[in-house]
Amino acid sequence: MSIDVTYRERQPGLFELTLAGRLDTDTYAQVEATLDGIFANAVRGIQFDMRDLTYLSSMGLRVLIKTMKRLRPVRGTVTLTHLQPQIHKVIEIASVLPKENIFSSVEEADAYFDAMQSKVLGQDG
């Protein structure tokens, strides 16, 4: 089995990592190597686009948890978007991320973060 991993910097320090295939015992090291490259930068957040992820094992969960731990010192965030039903169920059962870190789309995630930032700035209209 294989996984395709691509990433882009959406904003300074905010990276989107797109996963396609299976994130499991055979592929987690490839994802971790990509994340190591990303973390060579100043990272404030990582968004995992899981639209084409078809399987997530415990090693895949480990990748997500490790990413969260790496971002903790800078109060960075990990978000998940476009989860397939089977992936959503694994995340739900494992209780890896708070529900507010899981979004159906990038647009939904951006709207949430815009609203949160406006609230902090006292601009909630």
Domain membership flag for residue 42: yes
Other CB atoms within 10 A of residue 83 CB: 21
Are the beta carbons of 54 and 84 closer than 8 angstroms?
yes
Domain housing 65: 3-120
Pairing of strands 102-103, 77-81: parallel
The count of structural domains within the chain is 1
pLDDT of residue 92: 78
Residue with tokens 């904003």: 11
Domain membership flag for residue 92: yes
The DSSP result for 42-68, as a single string, is --SEEEEEEEEEEEE-HHHHHHHHHHH
Domain membership flag for residue 125: no
Task: Give the pLDDT confidence of 33-68 residue by residue, as tens digits.
Answer: 999 999 998 999 999 999 999 998 888 889 998 999
Structure token digits, residue 41 = 């930068």
Task: Give the pLDDT confidence of 109-125 residue by residue, as tens digits.
Answer: 666 655 655 565 566 54
Task: Give the pLDDT confidence of 64-104 residue by residue, as tens digits.
Answer: 989 999 999 998 989 999 998 888 888 877 776 555 556 66
For position 43, which CATH number holds?
3.30.750.24
Class of residue 3 by CB neighbours under 10 A (exposed 0-12, middle 13-18, buried 19+): buried
